[in-house]
Amino acid sequence: MFKKTVLNLIVGSAMLYACGGNQDKVVEAAAVEVPQSEWISLFDGESFQGWSKYGGGPVGAAWKIQDGAIYLDASNKDEWQAGDGGDVVTNEEFGDFHFQVEWKIAKNGNSGIMFFVHESPEYAYPWMTGPEMQVLDNDGHPDAKIRTHRAGDLYDLIESSEETVKPVGEWNLAEIIAKDGNLELYLNGVMVVATTMWTEEWDEMVANSKFKDMPGFGKFQKGKIALQDHGDEVWFRNIRIKKL
C-alpha cells in the first residue's frame, strides 16, 4: 500500500544543503530511500532554466536568483501578480511524483506551492486548476486566522494535523507526494495532510470550498508545479522531484 511505503521513511536520510554563506546548515528531509540519480533537479541555483511565467513567456523580472534560491522581490510590488511578477511554473508536467522544496517567507508574508496545474488560456491563474500547499507567516499574516489557510495546509480544503512550520526567516522543507490519487503533504519531516483525490469525497470537499465555482479545480491528474506570487517576499531553493 502507498501509505505503508511512505510511512517507512528514514528521517535524515536525505539532507538538503543550504546555499551561499550557509553551507554548513542543513534541513533534514523525510525521504523514501531511493538512489540519488532518480531525483530530478528542477532548479540549478543559477538560472530559471525549466521555468516560465504562467500564461507564457519568461519569468517576470520581480523573480530573481539570490544566494542559490529563487526569490520574489516585492520592493516594487504594491499587490500580488503586479510589478512584473506573476506566478511561475515548470515547463514540464508531472503525474505521480514526490516533490521537495525548501522555502522561507518574509514577515507577514503569503505564498504557495501548487501542483497538477493545467496551463491553458481558459484558466487565468494556476490556482484555478492546481491545489495548493500553503506558504505563510502564521504569526503575522491575517490568513492564519482561517482554518485551512495556515502554513502546510492543503489550502482551503484540509488543515494540517499539527503545526510544524518554523519561525519567519528560517527554512522549511515541504514535500508533496502524489501516487494513484493518494496525496500526502509533509512539512519539516512530518506528514500534516493525507487525502485521496478524484473521489466523491474529494468532489464534495471542493464543492464546499472557495473553489466550488472553478470547474477545472482539482480535476487534472497531470500538471505543472507552480510557485505563487502573492505580493510578498518569498524564497525557494533545493527544488527537486522524483517521478513515481
pLDDT of residue 10: 36
Structure confidence by residue, pLDDT tens digits, 128-166: 999 999 999 999 999 999 999 999 999 999 999 999 999
In a domain, 92, yes or no: yes
Residue 99 pLDDT level (bands cut at 50, 70, 90)? very high
Structure confidence by residue, pLDDT tens digits, 4-23: 344 343 334 343 433 444 43
Residue 171 pLDDT level (bands cut at 50, 70, 90)? very high
CA distances from 239 to 16, 53, 101, 211 (A): 10, 17, 4, 27
Domains contained in the chain, number? 1
pLDDT of residue 4: 39
What mean pLDDT comes out for the span 26-44?
66
In a domain, 14, yes or no: no
Domain region containing 227? 39-243
Q: What percentage of the chain reaches a pLDDT higher than 90? A: 80
In a domain, 111, yes or no: yes
pLDDT of residue 81: 74
Q: Which helix (H) or strand (E) holds 198?
A: none
Are 130 and 139 in contact, with CB atoms under 8 Å apart?
A: no
pLDDT of residue 5: 40
> Average pLDDT over the chain, rounded to whole?
88
Other beta carbons within 10 Å of 164: 17
In a domain, 8, yes or no: no
CATH code for the domain in which residue 139 is found: 2.60.120.560
In a domain, 59, yes or no: yes
pLDDT of residue 37: 55
In a domain, 103, yes or no: yes
CA–CA dist 80, 101 (Å, integer): 22
Residue 124 has pLDDT above 60, yes or no: yes
Residue with cell 523573480: 63
> Residue 73: CB partners within 8 Å, gap ≥ 6?
62, 63, 64, 233
Partners of 29 in the beta sheet?
14
What mean pLDDT comes out for the span 171-191?
98
> Residue 97: CB partners within 8 Å, gap ≥ 6?
176, 177, 178, 241, 242, 243, 244
> Residue 72: CB partners within 8 Å, gap ≥ 6?
62, 63, 64, 85, 111, 229, 232, 233, 234, 235
pLDDT of residue 90: 98
CA distances from 50 to 41, 102, 121 (A): 10, 18, 20
What mean pLDDT comes out for the span 67-90?
87
Residue with cell 505543472: 224
In a domain, 202, yes or no: yes
pLDDT of residue 84: 87
In a domain, 106, yes or no: yes
CA–CA dist 94, 96 (Å, integer): 6
